[in-house]
């Protein structure tokens, strides 16, 4: 029996998976992936989250599929004000576990332009308020904007926590997010020996504050990349590779580690699932 795992961050609804999603879901389930979360990024795809959730939840051998709709900061120039209403409506009419992914991203020069960045902050703030109204945690996407993100979370007195997905900050930043009730989402990047900062953060914060994710179709673990391919598509099937690496880094038995990560996930998303017992909610 494979150990039971939850993939807390996927874009398994995107076109890249249209040809073989069902087959991959079945393979992931055989690998122990009992649940996965479909994450939002653009309002025009919110309905697709729901369609793919139905498609997967109707299958016998598929991870339980959960939803977290949100407006991603990297696509800020495509968001319009009425998309916030659309988000609110979607949360009203669908069972969702979080609002995501939301946050701030200053990775490119364009994203750093004052008016673009201000709009990101506005959308982040408004989505925190929406999450509060629905009493939901949030899934954060933060790149090179940790201090500002923390400031906004504090300003809104956001107490519900959630997951800082694909955490890319340092130890002090990690501790600050943990203090605000967040877990750190760890993906295939941790399998890269050059990702020293992330590997150090993982060891410094310890298992109490971590959850697993693939971030598929990106962030393919090193072991799952196909030689000669510039970009090997990542899938939920590869989630155990992240667990394997964490078990080495934290020097922990895989089963014990998996149980702890499951508890962390189920606690921060209020899932109330006993280990190994994911169910459609
Ligand atoms: Zn994402």
pLDDT at 229: 87
Look at residue 279 and tell me if it is in a domain: no
What residue has token string 């696509």?
75
- Going from the Cα of 248 to the center of ligand 1, the distance in angstroms, rounded, reads 25
State the DSSP code for 144: S
List of residues 6+ apart from 260 with CB closer than 8 A: 207, 208
- Given a cut of 90, whether residue 264 has pLDDT beyond it is yes
Report pLDDT digits (tens) over 99-145.
999 999 999 999 999 999 999 999 999 999 999 999 999 999 999 99
Q: CA-CA distance, 150 to 62, in Å (whole number)?
A: 36
Helix or strand holding residue 117 (H, E): helix 114-133
Ligand 1 center–CA 213 separation, angstroms? 10
Tens of pLDDT, residue by residue over 19-57, are: 999 999 999 999 999 999 999 999 999 999 999 999 999
In the predicted model, what is the mean pLDDT of the chain? Answer: 97
276 domain-assigned: no
Q: What is the pLDDT of residue 1?
A: 80
Q: What is the largest CA-CA distance in the chain?
A: 52
- Neighbouring CB atoms inside 10 A of 166's CB total 22
- The alpha carbon of 40 and the centre of ligand 1 are apart by a number of angstroms equal to 8
| Distance of CA 159 from the midpoint of ligand 1 (Å) | 22
| CA angle, 100 then 268 then 180, to 5° | 85
For residue 243, what is the enclosing H or E element? helix 239-249
Is position 207 within any domain? yes
Q: What are the phi and psi torsion angles at 28 (to 5°)?
A: -65, -40
Q: How far apart are CA 259 and CA 238, in angstroms?
A: 18
Closest C-alpha to 6, from 32, 41, 38: 32
Tokens representing 100?
């995501």
Q: What is the Cα–Cα distance from 233 to 245, expressed in whole angstroms?
A: 19
pLDDT of residue 12: 98
From ligand 1's centre to the CA of 11, what distance in Å? Answer: 6
What is the domain range of residue 88? 5-268
- CATH number of the domain that residue 85 is part of: 3.20.20.140
Sheet with 5-10, edge to edge strand ranges = 5-10, 33-39, 64-68
Per-residue model confidence (pLDDT) at position 266: 96
Reported as a pLDDT band with limits 50, 70 and 90, residue 208 is very high
Query: How many domains would you assign to the chain?
Result: 1
Residue 281: band (very low, low, confident or very high) from pLDDT cuts 50, 70, 90: confident
In a domain, 274, yes or no: no
Q: How close is the Cα of 76 to the center of ligand 1, in Å?
A: 14
Spacing, Cα 204 to ligand 1 middle (Å): 24
For residue 218, report the distance from its CA to the centre of ligand 1, in Å: 9
Tell me which residue of 263, 269, 221 sits closest to 39, measured CA to CA: 269
CA of 113 to the centre of ligand 1 (A): 22
CA 42–ligand 1 middle distance (angstroms): 11
Distance 39 CA to ligand 1 centre (A): 6
In the chain, what percentage of residues exceed pLDDT 90?
96
Assigned domain for 168 exists: yes
What is the DSSP code string of 103-117? Answer: EEE--SHHHHSHHHH
Closest CA to 148 of 129, 173, 113: 173
Q: Identify whether 157 is part of a domain.
A: yes
Whole-number Å distance, alpha carbon 9 to ligand 1 midpoint, is 6
Q: pLDDT tens digits, residue range 169-193?
A: 999 999 999 999 999 999 999 999 9
Across 213-228, average pLDDT: 93
Extract the tokens encoding 2: 């494979």
Sequence-distant (6+) residues with CB within 8 A of 34 are: 4, 5, 6, 63, 64, 276, 278
pLDDT of residue 203: 98
183 CA distance to ligand 1 middle (Å): 16
- Whole-number Å distance, alpha carbon 187 to ligand 1 midpoint, is 11
Q: Would you give the DSSP letter of residue 160?
A: S
Dist. CA 146 → ligand 1 center (Å): 17
In a domain, 172, yes or no: yes
Please indicate, yes or no, whether the overall pTM of this predicted structure exceeds 0.95: yes
Provide the residue count of the chain: 281
Question: How many Å lie between the centroid of ligand 1 and the Cα of residue 165?
Answer: 8
Angle CA 45–47–53, to nearest 5: 105
Q: Is residue 278 part of a domain?
A: no
Query: What separation in Å is there between the alpha carbon of 206 and the centre of ligand 1?
Result: 23
């Amino acid at each position: 029996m494979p150990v039971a795992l939850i993939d807390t961050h996927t874009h398994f609804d995107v076109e890249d998976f249209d040809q073989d999603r069902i087959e991959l879901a079945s393979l992931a389930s055989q690998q122990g992936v009992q649940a996965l979360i479909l994450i939002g990024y653009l309002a025009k795809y919110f309905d697709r989250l729901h369609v793919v959730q139905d498609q997967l939840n109707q299958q016998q051998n598929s991870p339980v599929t959960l939803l977290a709709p949100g407006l991603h900061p990297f696509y800020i120039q495509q968001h319009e004000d009425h998309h916030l209403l659309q988000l609110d409506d979607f949360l009203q009419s669908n069972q969702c576990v979080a609002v995501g992914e939301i946050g701030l991203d200053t990775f490119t020069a364009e994203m750093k332009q004052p008016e673009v960045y201000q709009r990101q902050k506005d959308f982040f703030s408004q989505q925190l308020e929406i999450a509060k109204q629905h009493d939901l945690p949030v899934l954060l996407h933060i790149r090179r904007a940790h201090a500002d993100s923390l400031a906004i979370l504090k300003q809104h007195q956001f107490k519900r926590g959630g997951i800082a997905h694909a955490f890319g900050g340092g130890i002090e930043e990690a501790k600050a997010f943990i203090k605000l009730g967040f877990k750190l989402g760890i993906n295939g990047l941790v399998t890269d020996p050059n990702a020293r900062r992330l590997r150090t953060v993982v060891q410094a914060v310890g298992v109490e504050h971590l959850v697993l994710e693939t971030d598929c179709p990106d962030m393919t673990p090193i072991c799952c990349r196909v030689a000669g391919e510039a970009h090997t598509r990542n899938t939920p099937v590869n989630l155990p590779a992240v667990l394997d690496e964490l078990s080495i880094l934290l020097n922990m038995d895989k089963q014990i580690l998996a149980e702890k990560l499951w508890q962390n996930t189920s606690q921060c998303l209020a899932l109330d699932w006993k280990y190994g017992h994911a169910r459609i909610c």
